[in-house]
Structure 1
Amino acid sequence: MTAETRYTRLPRTTLWLLRGDDFTMGGDADDEQPRFEASARPIYIGKVPITNIEYEAYDPGHTRGESSLGDEQPVVGVSHGEATDYCRWYSEASGKQFRLPTELEWEFACRAGCSERYFWGSQPGDGDAYVWDARNAAGATLPTEGKLANEFGLYDMLGNVWEWTSSLYRPYPVLEDDGRDAPEHPGDRVARGGSFRTDREDFGSSTRLSLPPNSRRDDLGFRIVRFL
């Protein structure tokens, strides 16, 4: 089915420009080490995860998960390949190049200049204004923008839903052109950010989750980035 026959109008996805910078990537967990100096390139990134109403412009037959029924709640139950296909469709339909963020890009966007465990600081209790997690989400996703944004103006970078990245789950450090973002590789991919099922004590800006690419979870979604 072509892009022309799969939608009636393009979803209006709001993107913020991240100008890129150097930052320290990694954290305390074994798979977050060693910490290393990374350089994030400028990109546009979605202000929020892709929502049900946005995804259904691409796939009207998508079945909404019981944990995420509202139009403005993040789409869930989407595999890595389906998230990638959405980016491909949106690229063809819009004439601009969209994709999933790399793991490096995602962490830079989440940290928003903060080197602590969370983008709001080091204390989990201070995150009530920013995150939907197992403490406050009542077992389901919540509409995007329901909490405060980070310093880059991005919502739900932590909590609500885990988010697919393009990156293969491989040891650190990340090296340029090391093949970890190769789309054709069948290995496990990295999801980031925690979800409504995860206690914030168990995730942070550097937390990595390894998932088979065919995973479809009710707490797993994605956001998109655009090439400059």
Structure 2
Amino acid sequence: MTNADELTNTQQNLLKTFHSEFVLITPGEGNFPKSYEMGGEVETETPKHKVSFEYSFYVAKYEVPQNLWEAVMGSNPSRWKGPRNSVEELTFNDAQKFCVMATRMMRTAKLISKDQEIRLPSEAEWEYFARAGTKTLYSFGDEQKLLGDYGWFTGNAAGNDPPVGAKKPNAWGLYDIHGYLWEWCSDTGSESYKNAPNDGSAHIEKDGKTRILRGGSWKDKAEKLTSSYRSVVPAELTDDAVGLRCILTKK
């Protein structure tokens, strides 16, 4: 673990790059509605429900790359090595620790204020920025034949992860939303949206032994890469198809 109070030049430069790659998400402005219908047709994606946002937030353009993870955490757990490849083989708690450390280091570097923090997105936030104003299966429409232009999955990937951002982005300018790596969300695992909040916050229950992954991965078929597909997994899961994407918000 690195010291968040004393930053090297390399750490400062990587953190500056990380900060510059956040995209402002503004529900209710332009073509992006303030509210949306969350969910899909699969049983675990029901009941569909309306989620409304009273706040804006920033989301990272890319999944966290390995060079940034190593600069913040002091090690690299990934199977498929590459400085700008997405970091993988990390548990939910590992992802949470990264967010805490990155927050401290970015405050030290004066890149964010004391009332801002790096954190994992809620499921509702994730699906909102993944859909980018759409109601279709994917952020680009319903046609699976176009998926290869936007994401890595079993139809075009052979392991040995590529650098982040090699495919087309969604309408927010976010890359690798569909496929490449599954992304941790802050919600506890639930088999449906029963009792889910409708204000964009995470659905948290006392038992945090399971958590939510979103987006699908290079190991998955197209059906698991939709904007609404969700996977409930043990919080201690590690896999070379699991990574994270951060958001930046007010505390």
1:62-211 correspondence runs (5 A): 62-65=76-79, 68-95=80-107, 96-170=116-190, 171-173=192-194, 174-175=196-197, 180-181=203-204, 185-211=207-233
Is the 1:132–1:142 Cα contact (8 Å) retained in structure 2? no
Measure the CA separation in 2 of the matches of 1:49 and 1:93.
Answer: 18
1:205-224 correspondence runs (5 A): 205-224=227-246
More helix by share: 2
Equivalent residue for 2:51, pick from 32, 35, 38: 38
Equivalent residue for 1:48, pick from 37, 44, 62: 62
Q: Which amino acid aligns with 1:19?
A: T
Is the 1:6–1:58 Cα contact (8 Å) retained in structure 2? no
Where does the alignment leave 5 or more consecutive residues of structure 1 unmatched? none
TM-score (normalizing by structure 2):
0.84
1:18 matched to 2:25? The reply is: yes
TM-score (normalizing by structure 1):
0.92
Percent of residue pairs identical: 28
Measure the CA separation in 1 of the matches of 2:242 and 2:82.
Answer: 15
Q: Which amino acid aligns with 1:27?
A: G
* Alpha-carbon distance, 1:181 to partner: 3.9
Q: Which amino acid aligns with 1:133?
A: F
Measure the CA separation in 1 of the matches of 2:171 and 2:202.
Answer: 31
Change (3 A) 1:179 1:137: closer
Where does the alignment leave 5 or more consecutive residues of structure 2 unmatched? 28-33, 108-115
| Cα shift readout 1:87-108 (whole Å, capped 9, x = no counterpart) | 1011111124110000000000
Q: Which amino acid aligns with 1:30?
A: E
Is the 1:26–1:206 Cα contact (8 Å) retained in structure 2? yes
Measure the CA separation in 1 of the matches of 2:147 and 2:202.
Answer: 35
Runs of 4 or more consecutive aligned structure 1 residues displaced over 3 Å after TM superposition: 5-8, 176-179
* Alpha-carbon distance, 1:75 to partner: 0.2
Measure the CA separation in 2 of the matches of 1:103 and 1:139.
Answer: 26
Is the 1:102–1:181 Cα contact (8 Å) retained in structure 2? no
Is the 1:47–1:155 Cα contact (8 Å) retained in structure 2? yes
| Cα shift readout 1:90-144 (whole Å, capped 9, x = no counterpart) | 1111124110000000000100011011111111112221111111111232211
Is the 2:78–2:240 Cα contact (8 Å) retained in structure 1? no
Change (3 A) 1:7 1:213: farther
Measure the CA separation in 1 of the matches of 2:181 and 2:147.
Answer: 16
Measure the CA separation in 1 of the matches of 2:97 and 2:43.
Answer: 32
Equivalence for 1:59:
73
| Cα shift readout 1:146-191 (whole Å, capped 9, x = no counterpart) | 0000000000011000000001122315215887247x85231100
| Cα shift readout 1:57-82 (whole Å, capped 9, x = no counterpart) | 012222331xx211111000111101
